[in-house]
Structure 1
Amino acid sequence: MLEVIGAGFPRTGTTSLKAALERLGFGPCHHMFEVMAHPEQVDRWLSVVSGTPVDWDRVFEGYRSSMDWPAGYFWREEAEAYPEAKVILTVRDPHQWYVSFQNLIGRAPGPDTPGGLPPGLDAIVRLQPVLGMIGRSTFGEGWRFGEGVADEEHAVEVFRRHVATVRDSLPADRLLVFDVAEGWGPLCDFLGVEPPADEPFPHLHDAEAMRHNFEQSMAEGRLVSPFDPPSPDVPREPGH
C-alpha cells in the first residue's frame, strides 16, 4: 500500500527522492528503474491501457512509495486509491527541466537499437503502449515515443500547467511541492520523520550520469543502475 505518491515529471529529481524515501523508511519506492530492473512488472503496467479497471494494489505490490513515470502520471488515481497517502510534487526550473527531459527522451532505446538491448532496457520498449499514451496525453496527440518535445515553450507551459493542477487538486496538508535542492528539511517535516544524522541528501541520476549509465549498459550488455556511483569524470547537474 502506497504511503507516499510522487506527482512530479521525470527529470525533476525523482531518482534522488526515491533514494531519500528509501533511506527514511518509505521503501521500496517504485520508479521507472524498478520496471527496468524487474521486467516482469511491464505486464502489471499494461493493464492501465487495457480499458479495464486498474488494480493498483497489484501494480504497486511490494512498494510503499512511488515516483517518476509511469507511476507519476497516475498521481490522481493513486491519491484516490490511497487516501491516506501523502503526495510530493517534485519541481525545478522548467527550462532546465526541458533540456534534461529532452536528453532523456532522445536516448530512449527502441526495438531497432543497433546490437539489440541488454536485459532491462528492453522493458522500456515493451512499455511503449503506456509511455506513448502518457506522452500524447501530456504533450499532445502529435507526440511520438523517442522523439522528444521540439517546442520548448510548449513543453515549459505543459510543465507549469501540471504544477498548477496538482497544487489546485490537493489540500495543502497532503501535498509537498519540493525541489530536491532543498534537502532533508522540508521532506522530513512533511513526512513527520527525523532527518538522518550527518548524512547528505542523495543527489543522483543527473543528465550526464544517465548518459554514462546507458552507454555502459549497452557496452557491457547488462543494466547499470543509476544508483551505482558514476565515474569520477562525469560532471554533476547542480541540485540533482
Structure 2
Amino acid sequence: MREALFQLGYYDVYHGVAAIHENPRDCEMWLDAYKACKDGQGTFGRKEWDQLLGHCMAVTDDPCASFAKELIEAYPDAKVALTIRDSPEAWCKSVERTIWKWGSRWWCVDRGILYDFYLWLRGANNPLFLMTKRSWYESGFHQFPTRGGQLYLAHNKYVQSLVPEEKLLVFNVKEGWEPLCAFLGKEVPPTPFPKINDSEEFQRRAEAGNKMLRRRALVNGIKLY
C-alpha cells in the first residue's frame, strides 16, 4: 500500500519500517504516545501528532494502526482506506507466512529470549525495541494463534465505526488502482498495482533485521563479559 501511495504522488508515506529502519528516534515519541493514549500517562494530542507525523502525506501499518481512533480524531478531514483480505482465513494465512512466522521465533518479540536479553544489555529504556514489543502486544498479535480471525474482524469493524462513510474506502488490493484512485481523486497509473510486500519479501527483510539483532546482542554480550 505504501508503494501504491508513492506512485500516486504521496511522496512521504509513514510505515512501521520508517520507525525501525529510517528514523529510529521516532520510537521515543511512539512510546510517549502509547503511555499517553493507552496508559493514561500524560497527553498526546494534535500538537504531538504533528511533531511525529506532520511531515507525512499519508500513514500506513503499525504502529499507526494501533492509534486509529486517536489519529482520526486528530485529523478529522483525512480520508481512510481500510485494507482487507478476501476473508479472515485469508488474512490469517498471510499473517502466518509473515508477521507471525517472524515474531514467534524464540529470539523475537513473542518468545522474547534474545529480544529481552538484548534489551537488558542495552538498558531497559532502549526505545526501538521497547516500541516494537509494545506494538506487537497492542496489536494483539500475541493472541493470533487462538483469536486471529476475531482480531481481524474486530479491527475492521472498529475502524469502520470511527469514519464517516464518505471518508472511508474498504479496499482489497486485488481490486487494483480504480477504486483507490477514484477515492483519492487521482488518475489511474499506467503500471500494474504494486505487489512488493509478499511473504518472501517480508521474510527477506525480517531475516535481515534478525541478523542485526543477533549480531548486536553477541557484540554487546562480549563487551559485557
If the TM-score is normalised by the length of the shorter chain, which range does it land in?
0.7 to 0.9
* Residue number among 210, 220, 232 corresponding to 2:202 in the alignment: 210
Question: Paired residue for 2:3?
Answer: 19
Partner AA of 1:131 in structure 2: S
- String of CA shifts for 1:140-173, please: whole Å, max 9, x gaps: xxx4xxxx6221xx22122112222222332211
Higher helix share: 2
Larger Rg: 2
Instruction: Assess, with a 3 A threshold, how the Cα gap between structure 1 residues 215 and 84 changes in structure 2: closer, same or farther.
Output: same
Question: Paired residue for 1:201?
Answer: 193
Using the size of structure 1 for normalisation, the TM-score is 0.69
Say which SS state the counterpart of residue 53 (structure 1) adopts. coil
Question: Paired residue for 2:26?
Answer: 41
Measured after TM superposition, the shift of residue 123 of structure 1 is 6.8
Aligned-pair identity in percent equals: 29
Say which SS state the counterpart of residue 169 (structure 2) adopts. strand
Question: Paired residue for 1:78?
Answer: 71
**Mapping of residues 1-240 of structure 1, within 5 Å:** 17-37=1-21, 38-50=23-35, 51-54=41-44, 55-92=48-85, 93-102=87-96, 103-108=98-103, 109-110=108-109, 112=114, 125-128=129-132, 130-135=134-139, 138=140, 143=142, 149-151=144-146, 154-196=147-189, 198-218=190-210, 221=212
Residues 63, 135 of structure 2: 8 Å contact kept: yes
Measured after TM superposition, the shift of residue 100 of structure 1 is 2.2
Say which SS state the counterpart of residue 39 (structure 1) adopts. coil
Where has structure 1 moved over 6 Å in runs of 4 or more?
none
Q: Gaps (5+ residues) in structure 2?
A: 36-40, 120-125, 214-225
Residues 88, 175 of structure 1: 8 Å contact kept: yes
CA distance, structure 2, for counterparts of residue 169 and residue 200 of structure 1:
31
Instruction: Assess, with a 3 A threshold, how the Cα gap between structure 1 residues 86 and 94 changes in structure 2: closer, same or farther.
Output: same
Using the size of structure 2 for normalisation, the TM-score is 0.74
Residues 94, 159 of structure 1: 8 Å contact kept: yes
Measured after TM superposition, the shift of residue 128 of structure 1 is 3.8
Say which SS state the counterpart of residue 63 (structure 1) adopts. coil
Residues 28, 63 of structure 1: 8 Å contact kept: yes
Q: Gaps (5+ residues) in structure 1?
A: 1-16, 223-240
